[in-house]
Structure 1
Amino acid sequence: MIDRVFLDENGADLLNLHRWTNEQALFVKTETLPDLIPVGTFEDVPGTGMKIFIGERRPRAGQMVITLATHGKNHDFAFALQREIATVAPLFRGYSRTPGGTLSIAGVSKVTRSFAGSAQLGGAVELTIEHKSPYFWQESKERPVAVGSAAIVNISGQARADLRTSITAGGSAVINPSILSDAGLTTWHGTIPPGLTLTLDGEDVTLNGVDAALYVTGPLPYLEPGLSSLTIIAAGATAVIGWKEGEL
């Protein structure tokens, strides 16, 4: 059995999609997988009757539709269950499938409620989900990386993996540490005092917990799926990277 739960913006459980009590029953009736629409577009070639593809082929965020079967002991319980779903639907920000991973949600664009003739015969709530990305994200991974030389990192799945990088200075200060990833060269312009840690986690950059994002130049570090090369330049420091892998 697959456990399915809608999550709030903090990742906490908001609505479990399996309920079986004396008063109400709720379960997933049908579920589509995320649409796989490329970032690029198909364009007509004037005067030829042909089309060409322009842009990236990796998928963009799309939609999925989940239909929930709803049942109640009587009319009151049946309608209450559907109202409960409709009330919390605007708060959905994640969709967890175990096994499977977690899908980031931008929001619910449509809620359709119906009954099969009468409340006693059961009903359905159809949710149209808008994604932030088309990937089901897996549990975080973490590993140390030697500084000063290229390290090979194996990224599973199909998604580009954003990196969380922590660089800790040793007995001496580290000046202008940099990260060379598939995104290009990222540099933090400043000094990490001995024993302190610089953390780059997307747009959040901190030096021992204090915001230090203004001193970063270059792209946010990431690695493509497969075997990728990563080089961290920070003499005398130690480094640890973390990432999540995305599955379609």
Structure 2
Amino acid sequence: MDWEWDSRSHKKIHTGKSSIKKLKDEWLWQPFKIKSAAGGNRSYQVGELLEDEVYPCAFCNGTGERPKGSKCPVCKGKGTASVEPPAVRCAYCRGTGEEKPRTIITCTACRGKGIVHVEEPIEICPHCKGTGKEPTNKLVCIKCRGKGVVTVKREKEREIYDSEEIEKFGDFAQETYQVNKKERPIRSAVSGSEKEALEVIKRLGKSDRIAVAKNMSPPISSSYAEQLCNALLKKGLIVREGVLYSII
């Protein structure tokens, strides 16, 4: 029996056709809802960055018991789990902390916490399309390890030495400066992430780290945005007035 996606409900439905493996589109990630310890549901997008350090334990839903009457094996009865920020909801178990729905086996990817630490910058895993699962089976994705996202390799910054020309990146400042051996120290080129942050600041005008973080594509955490802005400050490409950054 073959399957296809119902675009309205984001669920797979029977087609009645012969069984032919057509898995590329079947595993495309869709938003999912998670029940919180306080009650109610919330939809989470894959790669949505979380910056807290403590979260309700996903495996016991913050009760500290799993099964009822016994200490939760994940949080040891505390009802909370700690994860170093930044973090994302586990794509493999959809943030439930369970290996399979309604089971008492902890998720292989997040070890029952429902949250996993990531290194920024991130992008949707190109191998599993954000599901956290292998395209041909239901095992943990070998590329992202169930997170649904992967770390983008930073563009290697090449060092520019004395008497070499350096380019000041950005469509708004395509000018070339000559490094004077006596007057200017060794500098390095702007990385891809720094260039994007520079363009965001130029577009918004005076901006704080939160505004820069939200306007990056994809959005990043405010702490990572601050790192990028500080790097641009050291390279003399922007100035800071209080908490606001602006182009020189």
Q: TM-score, normalised by structure 1?
A: 0.26
In the superposition, the TM-score normalised over structure 2's length comes to 0.26
The structure whose residues are more often strand, as a share, is 1
> Which one has more relative contact order, counting CA pairs under 8 Å at least 6 apart?
1
Q: Which structure features the higher share of helix residues?
A: 2
